[in-house]
Amino acid sequence: MIYADHAATTPVRREALEAMWPYLTGQFGNPSSHHTVGEAAAAGLEAARASIAQVLGVRAGDLVFTGGGTEADNLAVKGIALGRPRGRHLITSPLEHEAVLASADHLARLHGFEVEFLTPDRDGLVSADELAGLIRPDTTLVSVQYANNEIGTVQPLADLAQVTRAAGVPFHTDAVQAAGWLSLNVAALGVDALSLSGHKLGAPKGIGLLWVRGRFTLEPVLHGGGQERGRRSGTENVPGAVALATALTAAEAEREAAAARLTELRTRFTSIVLGQVPGAQLTGPAERRLPASASFVFDGTGGEAVLLELERRGILCSSGSACAAGSDEPSHVLTALGLADDLARTAVRFTFGPETTEAEAEGAARAVVESVAAIRQAFPAGMSLP
């Protein structure tokens, strides 16, 4: 089996599993409890917060642990927008993860916000010049993803942040897919809020993180006991937080070498597919993309049909965002790039991981060539796929 779906989830790193184990056993306490077991859990939680703060280059007190990337995005978009009296105008892009788009829609439907969308080019890149033209005196938040989960496009965050900073508008980025591959130093990025998810970088599912610059008020989305300094109620997932900190620290230490190796591997994989599959199209930019991400559309096929053929050959990948798996609708990311619905439905995404070998990538590429050929032979042009 060759696993090529790391954008959906990753295996838990051994060091993360070992680090979290004590907090599932002897140090299992509630970090809000004022006794020795609770205090040991609280100390582990704060040590995790400090480790993550060092990677991001931020104050530990500005970090909020969440239940995952979706909650972190919800808390960022709703929390910042509702926590600021500046206005009810929000700017984002049509390529965002559903967590951001649905949060923006919630603000529009229930709180009277006006949501405007940046226009991506054919590679999925948005423009700082267009952003400058959209910002108004009542703009309360800009949210643009660091790296796209379907096509791997890496946005020019520093250029976008220069615009928002000049206008005094908070800038949030969903960095879930960027973690482990791109720098998360927020001073260099220029952002004011950043979301992460543990299971995308070797921690377990069910833990996420939001960093928000301290001067911005954050309206809670969850209410209750007032944990996380009143910003996110609910007993903290201490084992998850420890695992997230451990996985993030390890991934950051390996990042530059892993990114360089995976970029070469992905380039080789992409060249085989484009060179040997007639009509194959790479979606997203050729260069300005995540090191381990390659996505294609294959005219005359169906994305799900290709996935089944690939799995028969031992290759596990996806047709796009795991959150939209099973939907008959074409990818909102691909249609925003101008692809026709029928072509967008043929999308297949390959996302490799640090453990992927060159032999595995080349084997996956050969399987793509064989799978697409098999489908096109079984269903000639003009014949509908089941």
Catalytic residue list: 323
CB-facing half-sphere around the CA of 248: CA atoms within 13 A: 29
DSSP 8-state assignment for residue 234: S
Quote the CA–CA distance of 181 and 89 in Å, as a whole number. Answer: 32
Quote the CA–CA distance of 146 and 351 in Å, as a whole number. Answer: 16
Given a contact cutoff of 8 angstroms between Cβ atoms, the answer to whether 177 and 290 are in contact is yes
Quote the CA–CA distance of 55 and 33 in Å, as a whole number. Answer: 29
- Tell me which residue of 177, 147, 173 sits closest to 7, measured CA to CA: 177
User: Angle at CA 330, nearest 5°, toward 327 and 336?
Assistant: 135
Helices (H) and strands (E) in the chain, counts: 12, 12
- Tell me which residue of 265, 280, 292 sits closest to 360, measured CA to CA: 265
Q: Strand, helix or coil at 298?
A: strand
Quote the CA–CA distance of 299 and 31 in Å, as a whole number. Answer: 54
Count the neighbouring beta carbons within 10 Å of the beta carbon of residue 46: 14
Count the neighbouring beta carbons within 10 Å of the beta carbon of residue 131: 25
Quote the CA–CA distance of 44 and 23 in Å, as a whole number. Answer: 8
